[in-house]
Amino acid sequence: MDVIKRNNINISGKGEQALMFGHGFGCDQNMWRFVTPAFQQQYRVVLFDHVGAGNSDLKAYDIDKYGTLQGYASDILEICEEMDLQEVIFVGHSVSAMMGVLSAIKEPTQFKKLILIGPSPCYINDENYVGGFDRADVLSMLAYMEHDYPLWADTFAPLIMGNPDKPSLGEELAQSFCNTDPDIARHFAQVTFLSDNRRDLPKLQTEALIMQCAEDIIAPAEVGNYVHHAIRNSTLVQMKATGHCPNLSSPLETIAIMEDYLKV
């Protein structure tokens, strides 16, 4: 298996400390383009695409392996092994945040810190837990994707992005969704939005930063607070950025918070 080709790995930067970026659903490593330049001088920046996204090797997509987030987490660990990355600082956006958590639980010595941007261990409301969606809403969304994926992308991308004053960002996210194979995207969405990793959070030993956006329909404030209380050694920062993709909508704030955390 060619891990580099499989995940379209790209490494740059002048530092020795590995800073690894994982993208969210329907996106690829290009979504970090406004953030990573700030870290090139000090870190070894590692970018990759999840299998099925971006320029990854679509032939490597296995519906059984990627039927849970653990399949993606195993890829992260294989990338670390293949590229000889030690004490990695992993930056995970959206669903990649949970992939990073699962990776660090499995191999705690592999990771130095986790930076979790808009994390959610469970997207579905459950008794006293607020995940943001009722199960019926998620199932309806998945059915919508099955019926007309391009229309779903055009409809939901601006809502996920937020920032209606910057419509080009929603358009870019919609285009990113549409650049993903529809069958893979639907399966990934099902795995993402029906996942429940709440019981995994207390197992995490790695220090973590939680970056919580305002007005985030995917990971509302209640979720950020839940993750913070569930992870023992965690720091929660409430961002001024709105929506679910501050790496695109508010890169300067994203960079500033990361830099401040990494100084410690």
CATH number of the domain within which 14 lies: 3.40.50.1820
Has residue 4 got a pLDDT over 80? yes
**What range does the domain containing 8 cover?**
3-122+196-262
Q: Is the residue at 191 inside a domain?
A: no
| 180-223 residue pLDDT tens | 888 999 999 999 999 999 999 999 999 999 999 999 999 999 99
User: So which residues are the catalytic ones?
Assistant: 94, 216, 244
- The per-residue pLDDT for 246 is 96
- The per-residue pLDDT for 177 is 86
Q: Is the residue at 81 inside a domain?
A: yes
Tally of CB atoms within 10 A around 264: 8
Residue 134 CB contacts under 8 Å (≥ 6 apart), including other chains: 124, 125
Has residue 230 got a pLDDT over 70? yes
Q: Is the residue at 8 inside a domain?
A: yes
Confidence of residue 179 (pLDDT cuts 50, 70, 90): confident
Number of domains present in the structure of the chain: 1
Q: Is the residue at 157 inside a domain?
A: no
Q: Is the residue at 232 inside a domain?
A: yes
User: Higher-confidence residue: 163 or 200?
Assistant: 200
**Average pLDDT score over residue span 84-111:** 97
Q: Is the residue at 105 inside a domain?
A: yes
- The per-residue pLDDT for 264 is 61
Has residue 160 got a pLDDT over 80? yes
Q: Is the residue at 149 inside a domain?
A: no
CB < 8 Å & 24+ apart, contacts of 229-236: 230/121, 230/198, 230/201, 230/202, 231/101, 231/201, 231/202, 231/204, 232/202, 232/204, 233/205, 233/206, 233/207, 233/208, 234/207, 234/208, 234/209, 234/210, 235/208, 235/209, 235/210, 235/261, 236/210, 236/212
Q: Is the residue at 133 inside a domain?
A: no
- The per-residue pLDDT for 156 is 87
Has residue 110 got a pLDDT over 70? yes
Has residue 57 got a pLDDT over 80? yes
- Report the candidate in 100, 98, 89 with the shortest Cα–Cα distance to residue 218: 98
Q: Model pTM?
A: 0.96
Q: How far apart are CA 152 and CA 154, in angstroms?
A: 6
Q: Which DSSP helix (H) or strand (E) runs through 222?
A: helix 221-230
